[in-house]
């Protein structure tokens, strides 16, 4: 069953330019950047490793410039290797650095799924959208993936003039979160109380997974200093129906 779960629904958002491995670059929280890819002048995929060896991924782009459709297009990739080949037409062999990280991501996902009760993987009702839906709700508060597995927006919130915003629901391993910073001030995204807090530049959206083992945590977006601005956050809950495939009468 584990193999089947790994065959779809793995977010591996990748850019259309060749990947660049980072050597020695450290984020402000102490995590180490192991891979970085720019898919546009303002969009990038960053893979970081924390002190415990967990891999986390951030896909970010500029609001109003980089289309979040890139997240949807590659969500169904079964591995980082497959995503790389898909976005680099004609490529038959991926760089060894990409392949190594691809294998680690697959193993990490399998481990997190093994820790998660089956009931927590069931498809949940999507979040209700407010009547004044804007670009945040139309772009970020949407199902990512689909078919037999994907990420459903269980909670979405956009607020004006806030310093920090968090999800109402706690998030689980393998869940995802959109951070939306529609302000002139940079900030950071966090899975509350976890050490990895990827930066989010001004006027930027980013879609994040944290590789750590955790529970009873909230996804948050916080601006630097005491600044306030227009902020959005989502809780995208992982679901899979694959464990039901082939079960039941013929």
Domain count across the chain: 1
* Model confidence at 169: pLDDT above 80: no
Q: Which of 94, 101, 95, 98 is nearest to 49 (CA)?
A: 101
Q: Which residues pair with 234 in a beta bridge?
A: 156
Domain assignment present for residue 162? The answer is yes
pLDDT score, position 27: 55
Over the stretch 115-144, which tens digit does the pLDDT of each residue have?
666 655 555 555 554 434 478 888 888 888
- Cα 141 from Cα 41, distance rounded (Å): 25
Q: Which domain holds residue 17?
A: 2-244
User: Average pLDDT, whole number, for the chain?
Assistant: 74
Say what percent of the chain tops pLDDT 70.
69
Residue 250, domain member (yes or no): no
Determine contact, residues 174/117, Cβ cutoff 8 Å.
no
The more confidently predicted of residues 45 and 249 is: 45
Residue 238 pLDDT > 70: yes
Of 12-16, 51-55, 169-173, the least confident: 12-16
> Phi and psi of 70, rounded to 5°?
-65, -30
Q: Is residue 222 domain-resident?
A: yes
Considering only residues 225 and 126, tell me which one the structure prediction assigns the higher pLDDT: 225
Model pTM? 0.67
pLDDT of 5 reads 30
The answer as to whether 148 is a domain residue is yes
């Amino acid at each position: 069953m584990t193999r089947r779960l790994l065959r779809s629904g793995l977010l591996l958002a990748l850019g259309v330019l060749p990947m660049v491995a980072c050597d020695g670059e450290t984020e402000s929280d102490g995590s180490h950047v192991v891979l970085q890819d720019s898919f546009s002048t303002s969009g990038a995929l960053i893979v970081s490793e924390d002190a415990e060896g967990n891999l986390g991924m951030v896909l970010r782009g500029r609001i109003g410039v980089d289309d979040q459709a890139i997240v949807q297009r590659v969500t169904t990739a079964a591995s980082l290797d497959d995503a790389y080949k898909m976005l680099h037409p004609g490529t038959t062999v991926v760089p060894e650095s990409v392949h190594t990280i691809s294998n680690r991501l697959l193993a990490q996902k399998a481990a997190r799924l093994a820790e998660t009760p089956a009931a927590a993987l069931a498809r949940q009702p999507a979040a209700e959208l407010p009547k004044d839906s804007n670009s945040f709700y139309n772009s970020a508060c949407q199902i990512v993936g689909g078919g037999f597995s994907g990420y459903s927006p269980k909670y979405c919130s956009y607020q004006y003039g806030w310093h920090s915003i968090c999800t109402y629901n706690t998030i689980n391993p393998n869940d995802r979160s959109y951070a939306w910073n529609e302000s002139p001030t940079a900030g950071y995204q966090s899975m509350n109380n976890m050490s990895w807090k990827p930066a989010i530049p001004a006027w930027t959206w980013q879609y994040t997974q944290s590789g750590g083992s955790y529970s009873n945590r909230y996804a948050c977006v916080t601006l630097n200093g005491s600044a306030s601005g227009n902020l959005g956050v989502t809780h995208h809950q992982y679901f899979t129906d694959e464990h039901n495939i082939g079960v039941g009468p013929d």
